[in-house]
Amino acid sequence: MCGIVGFTGNHQAAPVLLDGLAKLEYRGYDSAGIAIRDGKSNTEIIKEKGKLKVLGEMTDWGNAVRGCCGIGHTRWATHGEPSALNAHPHSSDDENVIAVHNGIIENYQELKEKLSKQGYTFKSQTDTEVAVKLIDYYYKKYNEGPVDCIVRAMLRIRGSYALCVMFKDYPDEIYTARKDSPMIIGIANGETYVASDVPAILKYTRNVYYIGNHEIARLEKGKVTFYNIDREEISKPLTEIKWDAEAAEKGGYEHFMLKEIHEQPKVILDTINSVVQNGQISFESVDLSDDVMRSIRQVYIVACGSAYHVGMAVQYVIEELTSLSVRVELASEFRYRKMSLQDNSLVIIISQSGETADSLAALRSAKKQGVRTLGIVNVVGSSIAREAESVFYTLAGPEISVATTKAYSTQLIAGYLLALQFAKARAEITDERYAQLISEINSIPAKIEKILSDKERIQWFSSKLVGIKDAFFIGRGIDYAISLEGSLKMKEISYIHSEAYAAGELKHGPISLIEDGTVVISVVTQPELYEKTVSNMVEVKSRGANLVGVTTYGNYAMEDTADFVIFVPKIDPLFAGSLSVIPLQLMSYYVSVGKGFDVDKPRNLAKSVTVE
């Protein structure tokens, strides 16, 4: 979850590191630090609690620190509270070894005891300091060199890590090692960059190497050498990043979240066009053949957070269009369940980052059982994309705001297209219905534009929600899946206690929490379930709820029941979630802005959850 940047080249390193860290702040922002080397063995380590801005101001945005090689880190605390002491980089007492780390070292206590017996003492509460001192210990004990001592440490460490290490004796070099935490390396104009995510280095280079699990890299100016865990030199392919550098900038919007909400029509269209040509879906790029789709009997959709909510919505669509049975599972639960997966199953992992630790572990556990896997992933070359047998890339581009919007929307589209292709391959849909649904999917971008063009009305209403303490979201079927997402958005960026319930469950408990003025937001787009949900709305209204309805144009009677109604364009109900979610995203955004919160970096959250 933390952000890492490293640089060795001919320019001053600190401004490059701070600039890169600013692009990675969505990965963690409770403290930040840099270590800069001046070409000899002098190193300056500067770190502080708080957002990157604090470190930026301390160092005149890097201009006050001289040296052309360095590593930097923005932290999301796991071991030890956010503080200057626990901030990275960490170093051995003589500064022989200095490192930044992303991930969790599970056996750090045991390693700490081992090192304590060797006379090491520890200043911080972090697992990283233990890793640094372990590397230092092997470096001094065997006197073999950086790659060797890192490998020795890797063999002892359990857990996940992306490590960037500098050694006093190798002043212009950075060594990196990785296991289950993302890291990429880029080279341009005789200079070398390393980062935990693409946006940090996109400004400098589009040509990157993905360092694999259990691999080590030695970075020199304009040169990188890779090694496997057996310390043998290996070669790696260079990959070109196609993302637009501007896509990772705010482009005139006040927040990334608002910009990303507005990008949804475009990225949805891009995602559709990546597999639909002339009204037909082709899954050639996904590498999932019709034969395989015909052989599948059971689908498991496994994901975390909003991606899990996508799975909830897509489940209804697949079950409506095909005879497949679908189970949606939280990755953090799935990975530890003693579930025997049926033969002829497909496990679909949905993940924006492609690095979520639980989703990756779920993928691996499915593969272990010999079950076919498909990733719906946004980040090209990420771990899930590399390890899943088939990959459907969503083309959301870089998503910076911690609260997902555009990646979520493209995942929904990928799910619809998958459902439709399943139906087609299995001959469970007529040609007419298939063509009609493709055309409905194609209509989504323009319909979202229409909702966005009326956002001021939602902004106005949201300003009235700034003082509320609780909110409830209700819906049935797909509307329930969207309610889950609306509720998550509200709580994650507005810090309002919010819960989503299947509307039919209200009477089994939550209705007791409804009192005068309690905000209840009902999503009601499914014609077959309309009356049922409206009855539930009436029930809460009669107990004093302040009722908001999100429904389709035409359902004007809703205005008799709800205090405020948001209408979305008509569409086939299977895809209505792509429209009804937009007002909910906007609502949570405007409430958060109204409360004066840092919308893009909500407290305690990180975008890419690479630890359990």
Q: Which residues are catalytic?
A: 2, 607
Residue nearest to ligand G6P (CB): 305
Query: Residue 596: helix, strand or coil by DSSP?
Result: coil
- Asked if residue 304 binds ligand G6P (CB under 6 A), the reply is yes
Q: Cα separation of 401 and 391, whole Å?
A: 24
Q: Is 59 in the site for ligand G6P (CB under 6 A)?
A: no
Q: Which stretch binds ligand G6P (CB under 6 A): 16-24, 291-299, 350-358, 549-557?
A: 350-358
Q: Toward ligand G6P, which CB reaches closer, 388 or 609?
A: 609
Q: Nearer to ligand G6P by C-beta: 229 or 605? A: 605
Tell me if 609 contacts ligand G6P by CB under 6 A: yes
**Residue 605 makes contact with ligand G6P by CB under 6 A:** yes
Map the footprint of ligand G6P across residues 385-414, applying CB under 6 A: 402, 404
Shortest distance, position 408 Cβ to ligand G6P, whole Å = 7
CB 322 within 8 A of CB 341: no
Distance CA 84, CA 588 (A): 33
For the four alpha carbons of 109, 115, 120 and 126, in that order, the dihedral sign comes to: negative
Question: CB under 8 Å to 275, separation ≥6 — which residues?
Answer: 281, 282, 283, 285, 286, 392, 417
Q: Which helix (H) or strand (E) holds 354?
A: none
Q: Does 352 bind ligand G6P (CB under 6 A)?
A: yes
Minimum CB distance to ligand G6P, residue 607 (Å): 5
- CA pair distance 34, 6, nearest whole angstrom: 9
Q: Which of 160, 196, 306, 533 binds ligand G6P (CB under 6 A)?
A: 306
Q: Which of 131, 293, 307, 500 binds ligand G6P (CB under 6 A)?
A: 307
Stretch that binds ligand G6P, among 39-47, 278-286, 554-562, 600-608 (CB under 6 A): 600-608
Instruction: For ligand G6P, give the closer residue by CB, 331 or 465.
Output: 331
Question: Does residue 353 touch ligand G6P according to CB under 6 A?
Answer: yes
Which is nearer to ligand G6P, 162 or 166 (by Cβ)?
A: 162
Q: List phi, psi (to 5°) of 319.
A: -70, -30
The alpha carbon dihedral of 597, 598, 604, 610 has a sign of positive
The interface region with ligand G6P, picked from 77-85, 214-222, 347-355, 557-565 by CB under 6 A, is 347-355
| Binding test (CB under 6 A) with ligand G6P, winner from 359, 390, 410, 533 | 359
Looking at beta carbons only, is 360 or 502 nearer to ligand G6P?
360
Residue 356 touching ligand G6P (CB under 6 A): yes
Asked if 610 touches ligand G6P (CB under 6 A), the answer is no
Closest of 100, 98, 96, 35 to residue 67, by C-alpha: 35
Q: What is the dihedral of CA 416, 420, 423, 425, to 10 degrees?
A: -130
What is the rounded distance in angstroms from the CA atom of residue 470 to the CA atom of residue 512? 13
CA distance 278 to 536: 43
- CB of 312 vs ligand G6P, minimal distance in Å: 12
Rg of the Cα atoms in the chain = 25
Q: Give exposure, 384-418, as e/b (b: 16+ Cβ within 10 Å).
A: bbebbbbbbbbbbbbbbbbbbbbbbbbbbbbbbbb
In whole angstroms, what is the distance from residue 124 CA to residue 87 CA?
A: 9
The distance of closest approach from Cβ of residue 612 to ligand G6P in the complex, given in angstroms and rounded to an integer, is 13
Question: Cβ closer to ligand G6P: 9 or 199?
Answer: 199
Site membership for ligand G6P, residue 47 (CB under 6 A): no
Beta carbon nearer to ligand G6P, 359 or 421: 359
Closer residue to ligand G6P in complex, CB, 131/366 = 366
Question: Which of 522, 553, 548 shows the shortest CA–CA distance to 536?
Answer: 522
- Return the axis-axis angle of helices 455-462 and 577-594, rounded to nearest 10°: 50
**Which CB sits closer to ligand G6P, 124 or 306?**
306
- Whole-number minimum distance, CB 297 to ligand G6P, in Å? 26
- Shortest distance in whole angstroms from residue 345 CB to ligand G6P: 21
Other CB atoms within 10 Å distance of the CB of residue 235: 7
Tokens of 179: 């296991």
312 binds ligand G6P (CB under 6 A): no
Residue pair 16/47 in contact by the 8 Å Cβ criterion: no
Stretch near ligand G6P under the rule CB under 6 A, chosen from 197-205, 300-308, 388-396, 539-547: 300-308
Q: Which residues of 538-559 are buried (b: 16+ CB within 10 A; e: fewer)?
A: ebbbeeebbbbbbbbeebeebe
Structure tokens at 191: 């200079």
> Which residues 6+ apart lie within 8 Å of 244 measured at CB?
397
Residues that contact ligand G6P, how many (by CB under 6 A): 15
Question: In whole angstroms, how close is the CB of 305 to ligand G6P at the nearest point?
Answer: 3
Residues 515-544 close enough to bind ligand G6P by CB under 6 A: none
Q: Which of 120-128, 298-306, 334-342, 584-592 is the region at the interface with ligand G6P (rule: CB under 6 A)? A: 298-306
Confirm or reject binding of residue 592 to ligand G6P (CB under 6 A): no
Stretch that binds ligand G6P, among 196-204, 211-219, 539-547, 603-611 (CB under 6 A): 603-611
If binding is defined by CB under 6 A, does position 2 make contact with ligand G6P?
Answer: no
Contacting range for ligand G6P; rule: CB under 6 A; set: 169-177, 349-357, 420-428, 552-560: 349-357
Shortest spacing between CB 362 and ligand G6P, in angstroms: 10
Residue 307 or 347 having the CB closest to ligand G6P? 307
x/- mask, ligand G6P, residues 10-29, rule CB under 6 A, reads --------------------
Q: State in angstroms the smallest separation of the CB of 320 from ligand G6P.
A: 24
Is there binding between residue 382 and ligand G6P (CB under 6 A)? no
Q: For residue 552, report the phi and psi dihedrals to the nearest 5 degrees.
A: -95, 145
Task: State whether residue 521 is helix, strand or coil.
Answer: strand
Q: Using CB under 6 A, which of the segments 31-39, 301-309, 506-514, 590-598 binds ligand G6P?
A: 301-309
How long a stretch of residues is the chain? 612
Distances (CA, A) of 184 to 236, 312, 380, 503: 12, 32, 11, 45
Q: Minimal CA–CA distance to 24: which of 46, 52, 48, 47?
A: 52
Question: For binding to ligand G6P (CB under 6 A), which residues are involved?
Answer: 304-307, 351-353, 356, 359, 402, 404, 605, 607-609
